[in-house]
Amino acid sequence: MHEERDRDRMLMPRLAGVIGSIGASRFDERLAELVTATAAIDQFTVFAWNGGGADGCLFSWHRAQPELTATLCRRYVEGRYFEHDLGLVRLRRAESRSGLVRCEQIEDDSYRRVFFDRPRLGAKLSVLDGGVYLNFYKRAGDEFSEAEIDNLAAVSPVLSQGLLRHRSLSKGAGAAPVPPKLGEVQRLLASKAARLTPRELAVCARTVCGYSAEAIGLDLAIAQSSVATYRKRAYGKLGISSQHELFALCLSAATAAA
């Protein structure tokens, strides 16, 4: 009983903070505060689910490697890795009476290497709430306690519905710009730069989409030094010398295609 009151005292102000910040710029920060107060997690990701696949990432957070997590979320959607996510498979089959499932065995070696070994994650809990798929992770070697599982099950509806409402409101004035889609950027650059090799094109497209050198290396499975080499060669072929000029080239291609 005392533990339940202590949990409520800890979570209620954070729940109020999330609700009060819906539609505001501080929403993402408040959401992360609520989740980390609910359980000692190391990563939290949320995807829009349309019934047949993941439409995109609604939210991603990592205690120490947020950029890596954002990159992996893009890979999860664009590479259709959700088809190999056993937690999602179980949830879609309604095998969990509580709505929350543990991901204890990962049979697909490629999926495990990309989404668990690389970010050094272990235990995972997932919940599918209508059009929202939420995932909570602990670092390798750690496990969720029963109290943490109960807490996450209790706040998951607030997380999912709050996110949907916030993203809906954020589509209006003051919303953050929607990042360009990688495939579209790559096609635009290809129309302006037929001389680029596939690897040079891939590096430039990811640069335009905001990937860092580290994220590009991880996404293409190449060293950061190779990223720099491919980018330099591409710039030489394009007759440019900076990232700003690359953005301008892509913008001119988009304008011509409009």
Q: What is the pLDDT of residues 186-229, one digit of tens each?
A: 888 888 777 899 999 999 988 887 788 888 888 888 999 999 99
Lookup: tokens for 138: 């602990």
The span from the CA of 45 to the CA of 210, in Å, is 19
**What's the rounded Cα separation, in Å, for the pair 123 and 181?**
31
DSSP state of 56: E
pTM exceeds 0.75, yes or no: no
- Strand, coil or helix: 232: helix
Instruction: Please state, in angstroms and rounded to a whole number, the distance separating the CA atoms of residues 142 and 252.
Output: 49
Instruction: Answer whether 156's CB lies under 8 Å from 98's CB.
Output: no
- CB half-sphere exposure, 68, CA atoms < 13 A: 17
In this structure, the chain runs to a length of 258
Listed in sequence order, the residues at least 6 apart from 164 whose beta carbon sits closer than 8 Å to its beta carbon are 58, 131, 132
pLDDT tens sequence across 124-154: 999 888 788 999 999 999 999 998 998 888 8
